[in-house]
Every structure is written in structure tokens, then in C-alpha cells.
Chain A
Amino acid sequence: MTPDYLTSWLRKWANNISAQEIRDSYRQRLQQAEADEAQTADATPDNGEGASNPGGEPDEEEPAESSSAAAERSRKRKRNQEDAIAKIKKGKADKKTKKKKKGSDDDSDFEDVMDMYKKKKPLPGQLSNCELCNRRFTVTPYSKAGPDGGLLCTPCGKEMAKEAKATEKTNKPTVRKGRRKIESNRLDGLTFRGAKTLQQLCIETLAKYSEDIEELGDMPEPIMNRLSEIFSKKRAMNSTTFKLFLQSDRSTVAIHEAAYLETEDYDQIFAFVPGIKTLSLRNCCQFKDENMDFMIEKAKKLVDIQLLGANLVTNDKWIDLFISRGKDLRSLKLEWLDAAFDDQAVQALVEFCPNLQRLKLERCKQFGVDSIDAISRLQNLEHLTLCFHQDIPRKNIASMILSVGAKLQTLCLDGFVNSEDEPSDDLLIAIHDTCTSLSKLRFNNNNECSDAGYVNLFTDWSNPPLRYIDVNSTRDVDNVNPDGPEDFPVGVASDGFTALMAHSGSRLEFLDVSSCRHISQSTFASIFNPEKTYPHLREINLSFCPVVDTEIVAGIFRSCPNIKKVVTFGCFEVKDVIVPRDIVLIGAPKAQDAIEQFGQVFMDFQKEAQKELMGRVVPTAA
């Protein structure tokens, strides 16, 4: 075989001549080549014999071959050819022993040549048959390998790559998809263990198909509200879908995320639901004066209004609302009002809404001292939540508490901005002396009151034990002196906390003492020791109390049988806690730990509790 054969052979293939033709012509050339060799070399008969010796011993061929080759060594010209042929023979001999195949000279020779070509993978630039579609194609460095190791033509290669990608895609997301959502749900305390409720699954599916729903039909009120919440959360509440929640026979409309609604949409609420009693719109940015007018005109039965971010309503319109609807109003919650709703509006509110029981004004920037004085005159208030933005002298707040405090069930005072007054406990004294029916107290984000003040508040207080206490961030803020004044602790510190738990521990369900930095380790340890139990406590936040350590967290697990959630952001001493099951510990300080740890272990004390429970149930069941 000479290089000429090879090139012409390849060229023929490149021109797509049929395999049969190629085989025939190649056979011819091979025969000719061997004939040529027979003329020029004595060894060629051996070659032919070896190739055509089907029954003979193939192993003997080699010595014969090599001896003949040695005899021909002088003819350097032919040497390369000889070697090539010897190689072919050797390969063929191996094959023959395996296959024991009988065939003609030419055929077997041809097969040998073919084998040699097959075995080598074609290099870039050469031609090959596609493993899948059998087409001829030029090999490139980018040619893909087929499933059996051969090469693929470009279209088949692309197809393969696509499939590979598709399978990769289907494989990957099951691991990664929604990881962030799962984490977010965990922090919300939503997913715990086991499956979601069927209601939750249905509502989520509904939200997914929100555009296709024509009507929700007759749903119970809590489910409607839940649907609205999920629609809002998924940002599916728009001009079309929000109409699902307007049903003429209902008394409540609650749109928790109204940012996509236009001004006209708000009118529809009052047109569709004239009997509306409770209105709750959050982020109702496009709620304007004209909507307020329409509401005043149509919604004659409104008693409960909650608007968040209704910044396009002017001061005068608020006053109009109170003048015309004030007598009926029982509850008013306004949040995030920057431009309007000033002291005048609050005064009108107090003037015209004498029956108001629930008032919440949070993050209303225009709200000042006169408003506080006005609120003092609301005699029927039961729930009061105020978040301060302006500098308000403490004595005004104290006098407000003194005049409305007796009936209050909820009192939330968030964040004083008070630049002048020295810390003093008169607010706590006022609460202690006037409030006797509180169940929820939020008194947070200030450095007004001393530890002694809190002790005084929670000692001999005629108010029954509270259900909800939030005193977070009550501490002295002074970067120079981070521990605060030592002999005069500001904010809830050890003694105050002890008094608090002594007063309310028996009924307490929610406790937030985050950033109360002056509560000592020993105080925590003695409060949450196994001897004491806080049977109703469900949630506790101890974040940024640096002394909280593993022992204290473990103590909480034991002394609070109903605890569900423990938050310990920034508590660096909490390490390697074993979280009992059905409890979530949020805020592990080490970055490599999961931020929340779900209880897996069924602890001994839980087993005992379970046994007790079972002990009670089993005999009766049997």
C-alpha cells in the first residue's frame, strides 16, 4: 500500500461514492500492489501465503515473516512498506485466531485494512461516519463522542448536547430550586416538619392560577383572608384578581398588598361591597381624595379602617372622613403617612370619633405633641399603638397614659425621640398606677427608664399577668461606655427581668428581650432553670443578649414545654445546641451553621411529657 492509494481512497470517500464501489476499487488496487511487491520482493509470496493460510498456525507466521524481512533488509527503499505490511499481518493474525474465520485472500486483507482504519480515531480534518446517523462528516476538534465511544456528526452532537443539558436541568433544580424559599419559609416558621396542610396547598395552587379564576364562590372568611394574604405575597393582587375578593354579601375587604391597584379600582370596592364594615388596604399608594369621597358616600357601615401608605389623601380629606363617619368608627389603623395627617387631623379624629376603641398610628411623621394631648381625651380606647417620630416631652405621654390607661388592653409605645429629658421612670409609674387590664405591652426602643423602674412596674402591679411583652432595645446607648452606668442600669436589666417573669411568667406567650444587654447570665440561668416552668411561652427572642449561652437555651427548652421558636441572633456563646424536635432555634452565630436549626431529637423530657399525655389517653381509649 502506498500513500497514493490512501489519498485517492480518501478522496473517493469524500466524494460520497458508494461503499461497494470503493470496496471493489480498493480490492483491485490492493491486489495490484501485492502483485507489484511480488515482482520486486522475494518475501511477498510469504505474505500472500500468510494471509491466505486460513487453517495454518498463525503464530508461526511471524518468525517466517521476520526472517524474510531480515533477508530483505538491504533494500532500504522497500523497508517502510514491509513494516506496514508486517503490522497488518500481525493484527490480522491476532484477529484470525479469535474469529477462526475462513475467507478469500482479498477479503481478509481488505478487512484488515479496514480494521486498521476503524481502530484509529479520526483526527480533526479527517472524515468519519457518525455513530448515530451513519452520515459521513468531517471531524473537527469539537466533534462530540457518541454513547459507544465513536464520533458524532455536528447535528447529532448538538442533539446529544441538548439532551445532556435537559437531563442536567431536570436533575439540578430538585436540589437547588426553591432553596431560598425554603429558608425564608423556615424563618417565617411556616414549614416545620411533615407536609403542608391541604388548605395551604390548595391556596398556593389557586394563587398560581390566579389569572384563570373567574369566581371564588362562597368561601369562609378565614380562607378568604388567607387567600388574600397569599395572593398579596405572590404579587398576584392586581386590578383583575382583586375583584375576586369583592363579594357583595361580605362585610370585609382585606387587600394586604394593594400597590398594583389603580385609583379607579378603589372605587369598585365600595361600589361592589356597599355593606362593607372592615376595610384593610396595605400599600394603597393610589388611594386618593376622590376615593375617600366615594367611600364616605357609599360605605355607610364602615367601622374598621386600616390604611397603610395612603399618602395621596390630604389633611382636609382625613378631617372630612372623621366628620362624616366618625361616630361609627371603632377602629382606625394608619401607617406610613409622611405628607399629611398632622396634629389637626388627630384633633379632628378625637373630636368626631368618640367611640374609637382601637387606634394605631405608626410611622406617621406629622404626628406631634398636640396629637398626644388630643388622644388623652379618647375615653373608650382599649388598644393603643403609637410609634413616635417627633420629639415629644415625656410628661405629655405620661399624662396621656394616666387619662386613657385604665381601659387599655393593649399598649404599644415604640421608640421615643427625646433629646431633653433625663432618664426617669415616670412613664412606668404611670403605667403601673393606671393600667389594670393590659394583656399586651410593647415598650421598646428607648433608653428612658431605669432597671429600678421596671422592677417597680412589675412588682405589686394590680394588672393580671400579661400575654405578650416586648421590651426589646431598652438600654443605654453610649459607645464610650457600652456596659451602661453600672450602679444605675438603664433599660430592662437583671432585676427588672426577674420581676417581669415573676409577674407574668405564668401566662406569658410571647417575650422579646432582644438587645437588653444588661441582663446577666446568672439571671437568665435562674429564671430558666428546670424547677420553673412557663407553660404558655411559645416564642422568645433573646437576640443580642451577649451572655445567653448554650446552657440558657437548653434551660429554655426544658422549662417552657410549649416553646416553638427561640431566636438568638448575635448570641455567640450558643454553640452546638441539640434542638429538641418541634422547636426551631433561629440565629446560629457561626456562618457555616444553618441559620435555623430544627429540632430532630426526641428528648427524654419530651418523652416523659408524651408518656404522661398518653397515660391519660390510653386507658380511656382502651
Chain B
Amino acid sequence: MGQTPTEYVTLVSNDGFEFKVLRSAACIAGTIKKALDPHSGFREVAENRVDLPTINGVVLEKVCEYLYYNQKHAESKEVPDMEIQPELCLELLIAADYLDV
């Protein structure tokens, strides 16, 4: 506690991939937002790092892509849908449910 929040945070997949993501984008995901809430006192806050042991690197990469896509289009209307590879879809859906996005 007492640290100033960094601009970027690190998301870590279960197979060890690390994604450095803008904090504002990462916090679009409800679960990550809660984990990084300065009042929670979680370890994540001190380390600016969120371990996601249920999500693998490939899926997490797509999640990060979505977070930026969402941030980019936050104010626009009639947003074009993001492409999702069908083979990723089910895993991504479970991850999205877990992350609350």
C-alpha cells in the first residue's frame, strides 16, 4: 500500500506468459479491477501483477486484445465486432465469464 499506481500492470497466464497492459484497459475486466482495487489490500495491488492460473497464454492474449478493443471503442457507436477464432471461442467464453467482461 501507499504506492502510486503504475500506468501498466502485468497479467500472467498459467503457462507463464506475461502481458503488460494499460491499467485502464485491464480494469475493464471486473475481476481484474477488483483484484487491483487499492483498498482491497491484495498482493496484486503491491505487485501490479495479476496471476490468472485458469487462463492460458493464447486465450489471455485474445483477452488483452479485447480489452484494448473495448477501450478504443468505448465512446463510439456501431462498433465493428472483434474477430474471434472459432476454436478459441469456448475457452475464451469461460475466461470472459471468469474475468467478468
Contact = CB atoms under 8 A, between A and B. Distances in A.
Interface of A: 182, 191, 193-199, 201-206, 208-209, 212-213, 216-217, 219-220, 223, 598, 620-621
Contacts of B94: 217, 219
B78 A194 contact: no
A194 B93 contact: no
A197 B84 CA distance: 13
Contacts of B93: 199, 202-203, 206, 219, 223
B35 to A, nearest CB: 16
Contacts of B92: 198, 202
Nearest to B85: A205
A182 B78 contact: yes
B79 interface: yes
B1 interface: no
B79 A209 contact: no
Contacts of A205: 84, 86, 89
Contacts of A194: 70, 73-76, 79
B63 interface: yes
B8 interface: no
A195 B68 CA distance: 11
Contacts of B73: 194-195
B7 interface: no
A204 B89 CA distance: 10
B86 A197 contact: no
Contacts of A191: 78
19 contacts: A182-B78, A193-B76, A193-B77, A194-B74, A195-B73, A198-B66, A198-B96, A199-B96, A199-B97, A201-B66, A204-B81, A209-B86, A209-B89, A212-B86, A216-B90, A217-B90, A219-B94, A220-B97, A223-B93
A241 to B, nearest CB: 14
Contacts of A202: 84, 89-90, 92-93, 96
Interface centre among A202, A212, A220, A621 (most CB of B within 10 A): A202
Contacts of B74: 193-195
A197 B101 contact: yes
A199 B82 CA distance: 12
Contacts of A201: 66, 81-82, 84
A-B pairs with the 5 shortest C-beta distances?
A202-B93, A198-B96, A198-B101, A209-B86, A195-B73
Given A198-B92, A209-B86, 4 more contacts: A182-B78, A194-B76, A198-B66, A219-B94
A488 B39 CA distance: 60
B57 interface: no
B79 A598 contact: no
Contacts of B69: 195
A211 to B, nearest CB: 11
A139 B29 CA distance: 65
A194 B75 CA distance: 5
Contacts of B81: 196, 201, 204
A598 B82 contact: no
